[in-house]
Chain A
Amino acid sequence: MKTVYVCSDTVTGIFSGIYDAWKAGKREEDCEIALRGQLEQQLFCDYVEAEETEHKAAAVEALIMKHLGAKAYHDIYHAVLSSDPKKGDAVLGTMLAAKEIPDSTRIMEHLSHPKVEKVFELCRNVFGETHSYKGFLRFCELENGVLYARIEPKNQILTCLAPHFAARLPVENWMIHDVTHKTFAVHEAGKQWVIAFGGPADEEVFKRVSDREKEYVRLWRGFCKTIAIESRTNPRCQMQHLPLRYRREMAEFCNNSH
């Protein structure tokens, strides 16, 4: 009978589920990883709640790094951050498929395998959204000089975005607020970035921007308007590259300061 391992939608959770399934020595068709809360009940299978520990996650990470290589781990890690409920299953399927081929470090090239292809697709999607936000994210300067950005990504991309901005703005205090997943990436000047969970009590704090902020937003809006060549106007092309969902938080498109 098929066993479904139920775990939470975090890297630790999913890796713990994979750990349990791997430990039980299941074959691909006998096991599945499902996310708590996004579960589709099926007949004729066992549901097992995976006990989530850091130890299990670290063990799976080490397993992937050792046998599949760093490049594959990079892809798998990105896939696990995706918003797709089938991601855990795809990762487990990929790991099991890697056992079958002679050189398991080449598993990500095996695109004709459906699970590998799924991981590849999820990774590409997460990577794409991360890259978009690297450009489309907008900081605004709060009264206390902290740079604050709001984003509403589909995937859990904060851990991919934070290193980029930490390398870019090491001397600034900044924070990125992931509204969808209620998490924050916080960086203090000259220090490491950290992830904080849970919403803040007072959203009002983020609305009080510094005096200079409004002036720079005005300058930036003016710039974006002027830089377009009138006789080449092409809103479809603009839409294709910059979908509306990103524009909500972008200074040059929205009307309030946020």
Chain B
Amino acid sequence: MRIQEALSMYDKLNILTDAAKYDVACTSSGTSRKSDGTGIGSCEQSGICHSFSADGRCISLLKILFTNECIYDCKYCVNRRSNDVVRTSFSPDEVCELTMEFYRRNYIEGLFLSSGILKSPNYTMELIYAALYRLRREYNFQGYIHVKAIPGADPELIQKLGFLADRMSVNLELPTAESLKALAPNKTRKNILTPMRLVQNRMTENRQEIQLYRNAPRFVPAGQSTQMIIGATPETDYQIIQVAESLYQKFELKRVFYSAFVHVNDDAALPAKTGEGPPLLREHRLYQADWLLRYYHFRAEELLTEENPNFNVLFDPKCNWALKHLEEFPVEVNRADYKILLRVPGIGYKSAVRIVKARRLGSLDFTDLKKIGVVLKRALYFITCNGRMMYPTRMDEDYITRNLLYAGEKLPREVTEMGYRQLSLFEGGNGYCEDGICVQ
């Protein structure tokens, strides 16, 4: 038996950060709150990124595990009980101290607390609750807190925790129940969906309470989210976005996060190591599709089908959709409906709003669109301004595909440099007529 020495704070933080880094959600958005003047902390609706790590991901919250001692044996996880890694736990006070000191130096926007399962779900949940309670009530922390609800814990505990946190999440882990069974033998789909439903129902009730009593305590004001691992199991993109869509519709989730599978364990149940690294492009395409579902009024079955279940590598899902539905294009920017504008590649929801507002005060031209923020090198194949396209285009899938792929090289100089040259009257050697008088 090996007896572990007491670890320093630095080592503990190192170990428990390292164990938490595969959790994706690090957002601090969705709620807005000012400090009441007695403690520190506030929240911005948009969220704030405080730094970016070497992998380009944002660091917004102090993302740590409460403990990496875990009784479960999920095949994809570093902290599974069959792995031989150094185990350690924070005490509630240590978590509070770290959060407060980092927060006042403006390192972080708040705390993201997750945990391995120590002894039992309830036991772990109580420890987390103790830490958060102390942070909120004794240290008077009013910044952002994201906490994981642990499947299998008492509904009572989850509810109590929800009044302390801004966002709660239950990890879906894997897109389907079969995969979950294969890779996470100690977890069941039912166990995961129960707390999710509980948080949803409690949030609905809370909305009514707040309408009645303005100062009623807020339950998970920034909504709940979840995450799943992509690429560890054989699901198609179509299946995955269908799962995401139903989570948004049936569980009213704020976000679904996708995490490209990173090989940390060698296990027969996991896909073989290929040396290609995590499937980042696939993850990226899923996030793009996720945005289309949430902000662009797309439905999952519009983006992908049973026959064509995976995303195009070359184009983003919106561009891909547009290329397959050329019969709906080109659209007239000065007249088209807001929802139609949203479907044009190169027009985002911000530019769509700006277009709708600006065109009330005058008709828009391609140069105006450029200023508004439309990505013209994409949009130009799909739009007209006052009945004219930017330059003659064949509405042909191959033609547009080719041009989009070589955007920049294939386009005429006028297009790549943007902005039209004023036609000069005295240009060119040929005579022309002005006011009926021949000028040479």
B41 at the interface (CB under 8 A from A): yes
Contact between B35 and A168, CB atoms less than 8 A apart = yes
Chain B residues near A220: list those with CB within 8 A.
102, 105, 107
Chain B residues near A109: list those with CB within 8 A.
354, 357-358, 360-361
Chain A to chain B contacts (Cβ below 8 Å), 12 pairs: A111-B371, A135-B106, A140-B105, A141-B105, A165-B106, A167-B34, A169-B35, A223-B62, A227-B59, A228-B21, A229-B21, A231-B262
Interface of B is mostly: loop
A218 at the interface (CB under 8 A from B): yes
Please choose the segment from A9-17, A81-89, A235-243 that sits at the chain B interface, where 4 or more of its residues have CB less than 8 A away: A235-243
Contact between B105 and A170, CB atoms less than 8 A apart = no
With A141-B105, A168-B35 as contacts: A241 and B17 at CB distance below 8 Å: no
With A111-B371, A112-B361 as contacts: A232 and B55 at CB distance below 8 Å: yes
Tell me the complex Cα distance, A250–B62, Å. 16
What number of A-B contacts does a CB cutoff of 8 Å give? 160
Tell me the complex Cα distance, A232–B277, Å. 8
With A147-B105, A168-B41 as contacts: A135 and B49 at CB distance below 8 Å: yes
B13 at the interface (CB under 8 A from A): yes
Contact between B37 and A170, CB atoms less than 8 A apart = yes
Chain A residues near B262: list those with CB within 8 A.
229, 231-232
Chain B residues near A224: list those with CB within 8 A.
51, 53, 59
Chain B residues near A168: list those with CB within 8 A.
35, 40-42
Contact between B10 and A222, CB atoms less than 8 A apart = yes
Q: Which partner residue on chain A sits nearest B107 by CB separation? A: A220
Please choose the segment from B154-162, B362-370, B410-418 that sits at the chain A interface, where 4 or more of its residues have CB less than 8 A away: B362-370
A52 at the interface (CB under 8 A from B): no
Chain A residues near B104: list those with CB within 8 A.
139, 147, 169, 172
Tell me the complex Cα distance, A225–B9, Å. 16
Residues 140-164 of A contacting B (Cβ, < 8 Å): 140-141, 147, 149, 164
Among B38, B106, B277, B280, the most chain A Cβ lie within 10 Å of the Cβ of B106
Count of residues in A whose CB is under 8 Å from the partner chain? 56
Interface residues, chain A, with chain B CB atoms under 8 Å away = 101, 106, 109-112, 117, 121, 131, 134-141, 147, 149, 164-165, 167-172, 190, 212, 216, 218-220, 222-238, 240-242, 250-252
Q: Residues 91-111 of chain B: 1 if any A CB is under 8 Å from the residue's CB, otherwise 0?
A: 000000010011011110100
Interface residues, chain B, with chain A CB atoms under 8 Å away = 9-10, 13-14, 17-18, 20-22, 34-35, 37-42, 44, 46, 48-60, 62-63, 98, 101-102, 104-107, 109, 260, 262-263, 277-278, 280, 354, 357-358, 360-362, 364-365, 368, 371-372
**Least CB distance, A229 to chain B, in whole angstroms:** 5
Contact partner, B14, options A216, A226, A232, Cβ 8 Å = A226
With A134-B48, A223-B17, A238-B52 as contacts: A111 and B354 at CB distance below 8 Å: yes
Given contact pairs A135-B50, A165-B106, enumerate 9 new A-B contacts (beta carbons under 8 Å).
Answer: A106-B357, A106-B360, A109-B358, A131-B46, A219-B98, A220-B102, A223-B17, A227-B21, A231-B263
Contact between B14 and A112, CB atoms less than 8 A apart = no
With A226-B17, A228-B57 as contacts: A242 and B51 at CB distance below 8 Å: yes
Interface of A is mostly: helix
Contact between B35 and A170, CB atoms less than 8 A apart = yes
Contact between A149 and B59, CB atoms less than 8 A apart = no
Chain A residues near B42: list those with CB within 8 A.
164, 167-168
Contact between B56 and A237, CB atoms less than 8 A apart = yes
Contact between B54 and A219, CB atoms less than 8 A apart = no
Contact between A228 and B38, CB atoms less than 8 A apart = no
Contact partner, A241, options B38, B58, B277, Cβ 8 Å = B58
With A134-B48, A136-B50 as contacts: A111 and B372 at CB distance below 8 Å: yes
With A171-B39, A222-B10, A241-B49 as contacts: A234 and B361 at CB distance below 8 Å: no
Contact between B361 and A136, CB atoms less than 8 A apart = no
Chain A residues near B362: list those with CB within 8 A.
110, 112
Tell me the complex Cα distance, A111–B364, Å. 9
Tell me the complex Cα distance, A170–B38, Å. 8
Among B35, B46, B260, B364, the most chain A Cβ lie within 10 Å of the Cβ of B35
**Least CB distance, A227 to chain B, in whole angstroms:** 5
Contact between A228 and B105, CB atoms less than 8 A apart = no
With A135-B48, A168-B35 as contacts: A222 and B14 at CB distance below 8 Å: yes
Tell me the complex Cα distance, A208–B263, Å. 45
Q: Which partner residue on chain A sits nearest B17 by CB separation? A: A226
Contact partner, A234, options B40, B56, B58, B109, Cβ 8 Å = B56
Chain A residues near B365: list those with CB within 8 A.
112
Contact between A235 and B54, CB atoms less than 8 A apart = yes
Contact between A234 and B55, CB atoms less than 8 A apart = yes
**Least CB distance, B365 to chain A, in whole angstroms:** 7
Contact partner, A110, options B55, B56, B361, Cβ 8 Å = B361
Q: Which partner residue on chain A sits nearest B357 by CB separation? A: A109
Tell me the complex Cα distance, A251–B106, Å. 11
Q: Which partner residue on chain A sits nearest B22 by CB separation? A: A229
Tell me the complex Cα distance, A238–B51, Å. 9
A-B pairs, top 4 by smallest CB distance, nearest first, are A237-B56, A228-B53, A109-B357, A234-B56
Contact between B40 and A170, CB atoms less than 8 A apart = yes
Tell me the complex Cα distance, A233–B20, Å. 17
Among A109, A138, A251, the most chain B Cβ lie within 10 Å of the Cβ of A109
Tell me the complex Cα distance, A240–B362, Å. 35
Q: Which partner residue on chain A sits nearest B15 by CB separation? A: A226
